[in-house]
Structure 1
Amino acid sequence: MERKEKLYLVIPCYNEEEVLHETEHRLTVKLNQMIADGLISDESRMVFVDDGSKDRTWNIITELHEKNPLVLGIKSSRNRGHQNTLLAGLMTVKDECDMVVSMDADLQDDIEVLDQFVQQYYDGCEIVYGVRSARKTDTFFKKFTAEGFYKLMEWMGVEIVFNHADYRLMSSRALQELAKYKEVNLFLRGIVPMIGFKTGIVTYERHERFAGESKYPLKKMLSFAMDGITSLSIKPIRFITGLGITLFVISIILLVYYTIGYFLGNTTPGWATIVVSIWGIGGLQLLAIGVIGEYIGKIYMETKERPRYIIEEFLK
C-alpha cells in the first residue's frame, strides 16, 4: 500500500484572537477531507506559531491544542516579525513532516487549493508557489503599490515570483536546504527561489480578511519592501556609486567650461573655483561612501550572528 505523505500547515499569528477559532475550524474540515480522500497522512497537522502576541492568541492556541489533536502550537519568546516567525515554524517542523504549506491566519489564502499544492508535490515539485490570479479585493492604491513593489524588486535583480506572498508548499528536502541560508535580514520571498529544484504554481483568488485588522499597514509595507531590497540587492549602493561618478564627471566638464570662459573673459572671479570644488569634492565623497558601503552593506548585519528567533514552547 502506498504511503501517504505527512502535511503540516505552518501559520504565523500575531494578535489573531478574532480569527483563530474560525481558522482552526475550516482547516480541521479541510485536513480531514484530504485525509479521507487519501491525499495526505492522518498524521498531518496544523501548526500555529505565536509571534509574541499581546492579546489572547497563545491562550487560544493552547485551548485548541488541548481539544483538537490536529492542532500544534509554537510560542516565540518575543515579537520578531512575520518573516522570522514563519522561519521559526518552518525550521521547527522540518524534521516532523514530508511537506509544509505556509499560510496566513486571516483566511485570506484560499484553503480549497491545498489539494492542488499537494498534487503538484506528488508530481515531483519540491516547491509550489501560491500566486494570486487577480487583485479584485484590493483598492487601487494597494494594487498599484503591490504590483509596483514586485516590478521594483525584479528591476533590482531580485529573483521573485510575481504576485506571490508566503502561501507556498515546501518539501522536507527544500526545507533542509533553506536551513543552510543563515541571513539575519530575512526576505523569504526572495530566498526561497534561490533554492532551485522543480517548482510549480497554483493560482488562487485571495479573499477578504475574515476578521480583525491587517497587520501590514502602509508603514510596515514600506519597511518590508525596504528589507527585501536591502537584504537581496546591492543596487541601491551601486546607484550611489554611480551618482558619485556622474557628479565627478560633471565637475570635470564644469572645470573645462569655466577654464574656456576664463580665457574668453566671461567669468566672475572666484565663481569657477567654488562651483568646481563643491561638485568635485561632493562627487568624490559620494563615490567613497558608495565603495565603502559596497563592503559594509554585505557584512554589517551578518557579522552580529544574533539568533533569528527563540522558541519558548512547542505544543506537540
Structure 2
Amino acid sequence: MRTKPTLAIVVPCFNEEEVLPYTLPRFLAKLGELIRNNQVAEDSFLMLADDGSSDSTWDIICTLARHNSRVRGIRQSRNRGHQNTVLAGLMEVKDCCDASISIDCDGQDDVDAMDEMISRYREGFDVVYGVRGNRRTDAWFKRTTARAFYRLLGWLGAEVVYDHADYRLLSAPVMKELSGFREVNIYLRGMVPLVGFKSCEVVYERSKRIAGRSRYPLMKMMGLALDGVTSLSIKPIRLVMALGVVISVASFFGIVWAVANVVMGWAVSGWASTISVICLLGGVQLICLGVIGEYVGKTYLETKARPRYIISERTSFEGDGSSRPAQVAPTDAEESERGDV
C-alpha cells in the first residue's frame, strides 16, 4: 500500500469566465476534503492551465492564487488547443507531485470519483482512467459519433479506453515517461495507454455543463478525431493500398470484358458508362491522395519540432499571486539535452 500522495489536480481552461466561479470552489472543496480525510498530502494543490484565453479567465486564476496558497496557474502565450494545454499542466507538475488528476473545468466530470482514483493509486495502480457510465447528457449526434469513433480507433488497431476522455489519474513515473513522447500532433487519450504501467478504470456519471458553452464545437471534435486516427495508426494508408489493389483487379477484368466485347462485335459506344467509371476512379483517387496527404502533412509538422506549448506567465507558487512573465517552454532540441518537456 502506497503512502498518501502529494496530488496535483490539473484543470485546462479556455475562455471559461462564466463557469470558473462555480467549478473552482468545487475543486478546492474536494481537495480540502481529500486532505482532511488523510487521502492526500497537505501540500497537494490545484494547477490551472490557461489556454491563451481572451476573456478574464487568467485574471480569475491570478486572483484565486493570490488568496489561496493551494492554487497555482500557468498561461500559454496563445491558444494551442485542449490537448496541448493538458500536457502543459502535466509537465508543469510532474516533478513536484506524486500523482496528478486531470479534469475539465466545465463541471461535468464527477469530482467524487477522485476518492476511488486515489484509492486505486494507493493500491498500486499508476494509471486510473475515468470512464463514463453513460452519455445521457450528450446530444444524440455527439453520443453516436463519439461511440463510432472509439470503435473506429479500436478497429484501426489503436489502444484506447472506451468512453474515456481526459479525466484520469497519472503517477509521477507515468508523467515522466510521457514527457519522452516527442510528437507534435498530440492525442493524450491514445498516448497514455502506450506508456504502459499498471492501469484500471473508475466508472462515474457525467452531468450537464454548469454554465457557459462547450469549447469543443463540431469542427474541433472532427479535428481531434483526425489527430487521434493519424497519430495512432497507419492502417488508413494500408487500406488505401488495399483499395488500390481491389480497383486494379476490377479494372483488369473490366478491360478483359471490354476487349471481349470488341472481339465478339458486341461493343456499343456509351457516354454514360464512360463518365461513370471516370467519376468513380477520380473520386477514389482524390480520397486516397487526401489520406496520404494528411500523413505527409503530419510528418512535415513533426519534422519542424516546434514547441508544443509556450508558457508566458506563471502565478507564484507561494500563494502571493504575483505573476512571472515570459517563461517559455524549451524547444525539443533543448529538451533533449536535459530530458525534460
Normalization by structure 1: what TM-score?
0.91
- Aligned residue for 1:149? 149
What are the ranges of 5 or more consecutive residues in structure 2 without an aligned counterpart? 318-341
Q: 1:225 to 1:258 in 2, by over 3 A?
A: same
The 1:244–1:7 alpha-carbon spacing in structure 2 relative to 1, beyond 3 Å, is same
Paired position in structure 1 for 2:140: 140
| Structure 1 counterpart of 2:66 | 66
1:304 maps to 304
Paired with 2:287 and 2:19, the residues of 1 have a C-alpha distance of 51
Deviation at 1:127, TM superposition (A): 0.4
Q: Does 1:202 align with 2:177?
A: no
> Is 1:76 matched with 2:76?
yes
The aligned amino acid for 2:310 is: I
Change (3 A) 1:296 1:143: closer
Give distance in 2, aligned partners of 1:109 and 1:285.
43
Unaligned runs of 5+ in 1: none
Range 282-291 or range 240-249, more displaced: 282-291
1: CA distance, partners of 2:26 / 2:180: 34
* Paired letter, 2:28: T
> Per the alignment, do residues 96 and 239 of structure 1 end up closer, same or farther by CA in structure 2, a change over 3 Å counting?
same
CA-atom RMSD in angstroms: 2.6
* 1:199 shift after superposition: 0.2
Runs of 4+ in 1 over 6 A off after TM superposition: 281-288
Which amino acid in structure 1 is aligned with residue 159 of structure 2? E
SS for the counterpart of 1:206 is: coil
> For 2:267 and 2:92, how far apart are their aligned partners in 1?
72
Residue-by-residue CA offset, 1:95-153 (whole Å, 9 max, x unaligned): 01000000000111100111111110011101000000111212222211111111111
Task: Quickly say closer, same or farther: Cα 1:148–1:29, change in 2 above 3 A.
Answer: same
The residue aligned with 2:320 is: none
- Deviation of the 1:282 alpha carbon: 6.4
- 2:314, 2:116 → 1: CA distance? 29
CA–CA distance in structure 1, aligned partners of residues 53 and 290 of structure 2: 40
Q: Who is 1:22 aligned against?
A: 22
Match in the other structure for 2:129: 129
Give, in whole Å, the separation in 2 of the partners of 1:243 and 1:137. 39
Displacement, 1:265? Answer: 1.2
Paired residues, number = 312
In the TM superposition, what is the alpha-carbon distance from 1:213 to its structure 2 partner? 0.4
TM-score using structure 2 length: 0.85
1:266 Cα deviation from its structure 2 partner: 1.2
In the alignment, does 2:262 pair up with 1:262? yes
For 1:180, the equivalent position in structure 2 comes to: 180
The 3 A distance-change label for structure 1 pair 77 and 293 is closer
Aligned to 2:327: none
Summarize deviations over 1:68-87 as a string: whole Å, max 9, x none: 11110011010000000110
Aligned runs of 1:1-316 on 2, under 5 Å? 4-268=4-268, 296=296, 299-315=299-315, 316=317
